[in-house]
Amino acid sequence: MAAIIKESSDRASRKPYINPYLGGAGMGLVLTFTYVVMGRGMGASGFYGSIASFIARLFAPEAAGQNIFFQKYLDPARAPHPLMDWLVFEIIGVLIGAFISGWLGRRLAFTFYKGPRISNTGRFLFAVGGGMMLAIGAQLARGCMSGQIISGAPLLNLGSWIVTLSMFGAGYITAFFVRKEWR
Amino acid sequence: MVPLIPSGVLSESYGLLIAVISGIGFGFFLERAGLGNSKKLVGQFYLYDMTVFKFMFTAISTTLAAIYLISKFGVLDLEKVGFVPTYPLSAMIGGLLLGAGFVVSGYCPGTSVVGAATGRIDAMLVMLGMFLGSFVNALISPLVLGLVNAGGMGKQTVYGYFGLPYEWIVGAIVLVALGGFWGATVIQRKFAAGGVTVTENNFAAK
């Protein structure tokens, strides 16, 4: 593993990303396959909910059982065990697939991205804080970019299209206010 | 006959195997197209890189067309496909937070996993934020319950809501996407020429 990462981390040998239309079409075929076999789409935010619910039940079983957020993930009708959830296994697949692609493209590296006017610490705090906003947004939206937008929009789900439009709108407004992070 | 598992054609016990296979495809194509890289992801909102829009709307249009065709020919039973009920107010506010969180963190919940798998430290911290945020969700869930469940419309499609034929909406979305791809390319060319300020950093070369 260390050899793979070392060999792959030389930035000069990186391969370019593929065309977004080709990537998007590949994604569309994977998603169609999932709908045809499973009758459901992809997701991501539910993975975090399942893991958090598992941890909560481990340390405070009673409180977790009474909380409506954790109850959804701890429901035996959803999964026999919170770690046996469909989205947990899907995300394990995402880690494997992304690692293979990054390795083939020689893009494995312990790096991070930021603009010139923000410190490393500042960027890290924004990453954690932004992640928390995403989690809360996903609870209200009943899914994230994967579950509501990429998977829900092709079903012409009205709620998914509301999430899509408000997500893009808020993104452009927020970009102005956090321009010191990136520009 | 299709979807295979909900129709009983394929045993439910294959579900988690399918989850891993679908996930591998999902992660592979996201990383291939550069969606595990916050420089490219936020480029959508500073207009110098339109990969997010192009990838997202190609994926949506491909799946939209495929699902339309296979359900039209009676192969896919749409009644057996999972469909999230519409709660417009909660969807709008949740969408606003998702958009803000996307630009602030540099990733979305799925692409942070992709970035983390290839070693991106900022993506790993977004995953940490998502875990912490899940506990915040638990704390606030009784408070936001009223908002989350306000104005439920049940299973609501766009064509059902506007009372238009399914195929019209499919055609309109594909046409708007194609027009959008052309527009996005023009915008990207203009704004990328102004210079891209985001850089890839590591601790060693500080």
**Assembly ipTM:** 0.96
B177 inside 8 A of chain A by CB:
no
Q: What is the pLDDT of residues A8-60, one digit of tens each?
A: 666 778 999 999 999 999 999 999 999 999 999 999 999 999 999 999 999 99
Cβ <8 Å between B22 and A90? yes
Provide the terminal-to-terminal Cα distance of chain B, rounded to the nearest Å. 58
B136 touches chain A (CB under 8 A): yes
pLDDT in tens, A52-67: 999 999 999 999 999 9
Return the pLDDT at B195: 87
Of B197, B41, B192, B84, give the one whose Cα is nearest residue A130: B41
The pLDDT value recorded for residue A81 is 94
Query: In this complex, do A48 and B130 lie within 8 Å of one another by their Cβ atoms?
Result: yes
- What's this model's pTM, rounded to 2 decimal places? 0.95
The pLDDT assigned to A5 comes to 64
Residues B105 and A114: beta-carbon distance below 8 Å: no
pLDDT at A69 over 60: yes
CB pairs under 8 A between A and B: 555
Q: Give the per-residue SS3 of chain A.
A: CHHHHHHHCCHHHCCCCCCHHHHHHHHHHHHHHHHHHHCCCCCCHHHHHHHHHHHHHHHCHHHHHHCHHHHHHHCCCCCCCHHHCHHHHHHHHHHHHHHHHHHHCCCCCCCEEECCCCCHHHHHHHHHHHHHHHHHHHHHHCCCHHHHHHCCHHHCEHHHHHHHHHHHHHHHHHHHHCHHHHC
A70, closest residue in chain B (CA to CA): B138
Nearest chain A CA: its distance from B131 CA (Å): 6
Which run of H or of E encompasses B87? none
Give A 84-103 residues with CB within 8 A of chain B: 84, 86-102
Chain B nearest-CA distance from A103, in A, is 8
The pLDDT value given to residue B31: 98
For residue B133, the surrounding DSSP H or E stretch is: helix B121-148
CB A98 within 8 A of CB B36: yes
Contact B64 A154 (CB under 8 A): yes
Asked if A4 has any chain B CB less than 8 Å from its own CB, the reply is no
- Let me know: does B126 contact B105? Beta carbons within 8 Å: yes
CB B133 within 8 A of CB A134: yes
